[in-house]
Amino acid sequence: MTSTDRASEHVADLVDRLWRAEAAGMLGVLSRRLGDFDLAEEALAEAVTAALKIWPDEGVPASPTGWLVTTAWRKAVDRLRREAVGRDKLARVGAEPPPPPGVDDRLAMIFACCHPDLSEATRVALTLYAACGLTTAEIAAAFLVPVPTMAQRLARAKKQLRQQGIRVELPEDASTRLPAVLAVIYLVFNEGYLSSGRSAQRRELAREGLDLARQLARMLPREPEVAGLTALLELHEARAATRFDSWGRIVLLEHQDRRQWDEALMERAALRLRAAVRQGRPGPYQVQAGIAALHAFAVSYEATHWAEVRSLYDRLRALDPSPVVLLGRAVATRFAIGPAEALAEVDDLRDRLDGYHLWHAARADLLAALDRRAEALAAAERALDLTTNPAERELMSRRIGDLRRPAA
């Protein structure tokens, strides 16, 4: 490999890392100034192409991000000058390049991607592309769709952003949009943690979700729910290495090797959660993180403080009375009180969760604990019918096999 090739490879790697780390900020500062996401994106893409050509020969500038933003701005200005409508816009925005992106620019990009007027699918696609810096090909691979399909999805997302007049700017009251932002980040992480598609997990998506939560926590240190979500994701991530065995099979919480959990990450999450709780503004993510912390710091599954877990689910129910929350409470009831009481709670949710595979799986476990094996088998088979994740299907198939064996 020649020195020129090595320089080009170094620059390509640097630009890739810059894009992933600074995409939201660079697109944010350009979009806010131009009032046009598409123009900002196209100009920045041209700037990246220019960097790949120029930097190997002339060297990487002292401020690579500033260079990219300034170059993108000049290319956008050149385009505006060539168009009558653009010249009018240029007169309003001015010709001087914007400063390098700051916290507000990154935050504005994230809030625009997660605008509540956009559909959930649109929010996720835009967030991964514009706020996380993933390429179209990477997003397509993560969601197991062809690249042209994802390209069309992103194009529609950006068109919707433009047609609905959603500007890349911080809302006057960020709290009104914050729930949508947090929901998208949680969705991105969960899709990576346990996929809804044909892959068991997508670690790159989980990492993107966690990184995005941490970035938001740095930007909004006085928002306890941001800290709560970040702590929740960190607690989940701390045991990620033990969730699947060497065969790719799910290892349930009670069977995971707790010695392999990341204790340093758990401690950081606990500190983050305690600081959030001290602000005195409780929210569902803080409570969920509290539940995760009780599981994380228990010396064993059996020694978990199940009564406290159930009590936290009661608090969560007051904040988020969803049937999935009540299902989690029922699981805690099994260990805090007994399987019969837990089954009664689960059966009360039939009308709302009959199409949810985990409802049937929980019911199968409870029926088996009560030695009602025929009913447990039927529930497990129904859970398998509703399950799409391959690792979950394998786990449910194992449970069905156990239930079909004669009782000892």
Q: What is the pLDDT of residue 89?
A: 62
DSSP 42: H
Q: Which tokens in the block code for residue 88?
A: 């009018």
User: What sign does the CA torsion over 342, 347, 350, 356 have?
Assistant: positive
Mean pLDDT along residues 18-39 = 81
Q: What is the pLDDT of residue 367?
A: 97
Q: Report, in this order, helix, strand and coil percent for the chain, each rounded to 5.
A: 75, 0, 25
The pLDDT tens digits of the residues spanning 360-374 come to: 999 999 999 999 999
DSSP alpha helix (H) spans, 194-282? 203-219, 224-238, 263-277
CB-based contacts of 207, cutoff 8 Å, min separation 6: 192
Using N-to-C axis directions, what is the helix angle for 3-34 and 64-81, rounded to 10°?
60
Within 13 Å of residue 59, how many CA atoms lie on the same side as its CB?
3
Interatomic CA distance for residues 154 and 41, integer angstroms: 12
Q: Which CATH number fits domain 308-408: 3.30.565.10, 1.25.40.10, 1.10.10.10, 3.90.1150.10?
A: 1.25.40.10
Q: What is the pTM of this model?
A: 0.76
- List the chain domain ranges: 3-101, 102-217, 221-304, 308-408
The CA radius of gyration of the chain, in Å to the nearest whole number, is 25
Range with the poorest average pLDDT among 207-216, 262-271, 272-281, 304-313: 207-216
Q: Is the pLDDT of residue 208 over 60?
A: yes
Q: Are 364 and 383 in contact (CB under 8 A)?
A: yes
The pLDDT tens digits of the residues spanning 127-159 come to: 888 877 777 887 776 666 788 888 888 888 888
Mean pLDDT along residues 76-104 = 70
pLDDT bucket at 197, cuts 50 / 70 / 90? very low
The pLDDT tens digits of the residues spanning 163-174 come to: 887 878 777 777
Q: What is the pLDDT of residue 90?
A: 61
Mean pLDDT along residues 317-325 = 93
Residue at token pair 């009018």: 88
